[in-house]
Amino acid sequence: MPGRSARALLCVAVLLAGAGGAAAATDPFYERLLEEGSRRLEADPAGAARLLRIAAFGLLEDPPRLATALVRLSIAQSRARDGDSFRSTFERLLELEDRFGVLSGPGLSPADRAAFERAVPIHVPEERLLASPLFVDLAERRIELRLSQLPPRQQRRELEARAAERPGDVGRLMALARFETRQGREGRALEWLDRTLATDPEHEPARCLRGRLAADRNDCQRAAADLDRCSSVADNPGLAASSLRCLVREKRWPEASGLLGSLDPALRATPEIARLAARVPAPQPEQPFAAPGTEEAPGPSAGEPAASHVSPEPAPAETAPQAPPGPTLEERLAVVRGQIEAARSRDALSAALDDATRLADDNPDSREAQITAGEAAYRLSRWETAVRYFDRAGPRSGDRPLVVFYYSVALYESGRTEEAAGALRSVLPRLARTDFVQAYVDRILASGGPS
């Protein structure tokens, strides 16, 4: 059997070498085999593989259709748990890619491409994927997924070591940026994104993520520079919400309306975007322009005496209705705290954080506003944002123990372990100890050195 497979592969290689750029007419018999094999992929993958293998032989002179047949053959082999055959088909596809660009081009259907890319890491060794320019990113994401099972500190060390091996590898720099983003360390994530874009200024995923993080940190000027060049804003709920949040914060209403108009209705209906959209005023109709001095007052009607040039008596001034007073800061803070406590999803908590940070930024002298924003960021694991607002709240010795605990956790997760331990010790005797709190107390004090 191995000898027959080797001879078959040699035959395919010879035929591929003679295949021209233009597709020749294909025998309908092989197209029917391709269709029948594709129909059997779910119910009978082994039978589908037999049909698709024959179909591939008949499509050798039509590279795009051959690629479709081989991709579906590999999917059938994967579902039949035939790893050896999958790897052989994978190598044939790489040969076809080298000559005709069939995998990197638009010829494959999205469903075929997705199923194939899911199967590749299962059957093909990482070393082989890393050696292929087409699959190196897939290999890196597979390694990143494996490392994600490690504790955060060990994971960071592994990712940094891999980045140091290849300082110009944008895939490894992006892995670190994504890791630090998940850990809530936006500042460190931004540093890795800056390095990524210094290496590859056209790397759009890095630009989009940097814009989103800048928007989440209320650095809207920096965010706009990136998000305006990010083509996926209108398709990605997180990017759309971050961009819209900055536009609303800066009252850039025409741009906010334009962004909302570009969004799919389902995307506009997501909770955070719908909440932000409610704050965007409806566009005002344009008033017709009249050049100064060109308007003429209407003349008197026939039979009416011409008006004298005596100025009319001024009409008695009408007292404008007084607008009711708006809610006080304390009332607005109470609403935001209610949002934080009632939040049962990340979207709802993100909405509460947005309202809390806006109140805190608009009222920098309000210590309660800063603490509320810090607590909302803490609950979202946005550690550096939490530290920033807790710091704005000012000295906290003798403060509420739970607030200081939140602050110490945010410091610890941001890598400022000694400061975390110092803040925690100031309230330790008065801190209620649940299992969760005690676990963090042990970790923070162990990492922060002797008291």
DSSP sequence for 388-407? HHHHHT---TTS-HHHHHHH
Average pLDDT, the chain: 83
pLDDT in tens, 135-189: 887 888 788 878 888 888 899 999 999 999 988 888 889 989 999 988 888 889 9
What integer pLDDT is reported at residue 450 of this predicted model? 59
Q: Is the pLDDT of residue 411 over 80?
A: yes
Q: Any idea of the CA torsion for 365, 367, 373, 374, to the nearest 10 degrees?
A: 130
What integer pLDDT is reported at residue 249 of this predicted model? 87
Range of lowest pLDDT (90-94, 221-225, 226-230, 306-310): 306-310
pLDDT in tens, 98-114: 999 988 888 889 899 98
- The answer to whether the CB of 43 falls within 8 A of the CB of 74 is no
pLDDT band at 119 (very low <50, low <70, confident <90, very high): very high
Instruction: Tell me how far apart the alpha carbons of residues 321 and 309 are, in angstroms, rounded to a whole number.
Output: 34
pLDDT in tens, 51-68: 999 999 999 999 999 999
Query: For residues 399 and 25, which has the higher predicted lDDT (pLDDT)?
Result: 399
What integer pLDDT is reported at residue 67 of this predicted model? 94
Q: Is the pLDDT of residue 289 over 60?
A: no
Residue 237 CB neighbour total at 10 angstroms: 16
What integer pLDDT is reported at residue 25 of this predicted model? 61
What integer pLDDT is reported at residue 143 of this predicted model? 84
What integer pLDDT is reported at residue 129 of this predicted model? 87
Rounded alpha-carbon distances, angstroms, from residue 202 to 120, 195, 229: 27, 12, 10
Mean pLDDT for the stretch of residues 217-231:
89
pLDDT band at 1 (very low <50, low <70, confident <90, very high): very low
What integer pLDDT is reported at residue 451 of this predicted model? 54
Residue type, 245: R
pLDDT in tens, 62-90: 999 999 999 999 999 999 999 999 999 99
Among candidates 147, 154, 127, 149, which has minimal Cα distance to 139? Answer: 127
What integer pLDDT is reported at residue 145 of this predicted model? 78
pTM of the full predicted structure? Answer: 0.56
Mean pLDDT for the stretch of residues 350-357:
86
